[in-house]
Copies of this chain bind each other. A is one copy, B any other.
């Protein structure tokens, strides 16, 4: 038993060390970076697709998309205007880690970008345990997932810097009590910056994009 625990601790420490290295590298290049977490299908890729055209002629953006298989996400990011889009296929792994991001950063000339968007694997549990070295962590929740998610996935909700509530256009059709959801969020992450929006209708996107521009240019 002791041996197993030691191995796990060593892996985590190695990850954190490399996350610090990634962070230092992004800082040195003047690149602001975000790590986007969500359940499968909450709308990470749609958010990136809607965000990129609104950053055109304002920020030079690179996207790194983590997925278990396929390059669907990086293809969509490239089509939406990312100057570079790199797919990390985790080969079955349920999260990105600092090693994977380190490898992807090697492929980019960071001096060419202002903003790096990292899209994690769709998973509300494991990605929260692996720092990548990005500046901010963004969680995309979505209305049809239900209002109990903060209560059921506290580790993820607790650790994020920004909460996006996507698919608000579906509020009339599902049983989602916004005050119950927000009470759960506030208990875990008081005062977290929150953007309710819809990637389908475009409602609320400007506030999120403005936050992104302000934080990148800071």
A144 to B124, CA, bound (A): 17
Residues of A bordering B, CB below 8 Å? 3-4, 7, 11, 39-41, 67-70, 72, 92-94, 121-126, 142, 144-146, 148-149, 151-155, 167, 169-170, 173-175, 200
Among B41, B123, B175, contact of A144 (Cβ-Cβ < 8 Å): B41
Write 18 A-B pairs (CB below 8 A) sorted by A numbering: A39-B39, A39-B41, A39-B145, A41-B149, A67-B152, A69-B151, A69-B152, A70-B151, A72-B148, A72-B152, A94-B123, A94-B126, A122-B153, A123-B125, A123-B126, A125-B126, A144-B167, A170-B170
How near does chain B come to A210, taking the closest CB pair, in angstroms?
Answer: 26
| Chain B residues with CB below 8 A from A144, complex form | 41, 142, 144, 167, 170
Among B3, B72, B152, B173, contact of A170 (Cβ-Cβ < 8 Å): B173
Is there an interface contact between B152 and A122, defined as CB atoms closer than 8 Å?
yes
A122 to B72, CA, bound (A): 23
Is there an interface contact between A41 and B145, defined as CB atoms closer than 8 Å?
yes
Closest to A41 in B: B145
Is there an interface contact between A152 and B70, defined as CB atoms closer than 8 Å?
yes
Is there an interface contact between A154 and B68, defined as CB atoms closer than 8 Å?
yes
Is there an interface contact between B152 and A40, defined as CB atoms closer than 8 Å?
yes
Most chain B Cβ neighbours within 10 Å, of A3, A125, A155, A170:
A125
A155 to B34, CA, bound (A): 28
